[in-house]
Amino acid sequence: MMNPRVLLYEPKEKALTVLRRMIEHGETYSIVKLWHELQGIVTYRDFIFFLAEPEKLDIPAYITGLPDEPFEAELAKIKFMRGAKSLRRSFPEIEEIRATVKARELSGDRHRYEVKVSVRSAEKLYIYSEEGWDLPSIFDAITDKLKKILTKKSNKRSRKSLRKFRPQSPV
């Protein structure tokens, strides 16, 4: 089915302007034309491709349950991969990072997301979950929280107290 109100742009148009108008009008694509000739079709995925290059990780990082909306899903994936890469640089003992996204539709098009991230290291499993309306900001918050958890100093004593094991003398 053809849309009668297609968004048309010149090649010299700023990408941010095109993206804002696409979001305002609820369109998933726009057409780039030059002198009444079609030059190409631009989608959200094209903007994501230009904004960020895919992250390459040396550890397994999995994300499941991403929403169908391409712009939000791709942005969340990029943020997750960047967070995983920075965690890996800070903590080389990390073996695997896994994220699960669950969406609940509350009213109309609005979704509330619950994201659960587990980080497996050689000695321990760290699990963190966060809820919210905006998926990319949830991944930002989770990355910040995981960095705090992993950098928190352990409260273990290095040696045992001698007073606790001193035998009591009979009176």
Looking at the whole model, is its pTM more than 0.75? Answer: no
Question: pLDDT tens across 8-38, in order?
Answer: 888 888 877 888 888 888 888 888 888 888 8
Collect all residues with Cβ–Cβ distance below 8 Å to 32 and sequence separation of at least 6.
8, 9, 10, 11, 13, 38, 39, 40, 41, 42
Question: Quick one: which of 98, 109, 23, 25 has its CA closest to 67?
Answer: 109
What are the start-end ranges of the H helices in 4-152? Answer: 15-25, 44-51, 70-90, 135-151
The whole-angstrom separation of Cα 95 and Cα 88 is: 9
Q: What structural domains and CATH numbers belong to the chain?
A: 8-50 (no CATH), 54-150 (3.30.160.100)
Question: pLDDT tens across 133-150, in order?
Answer: 888 788 888 888 877 776
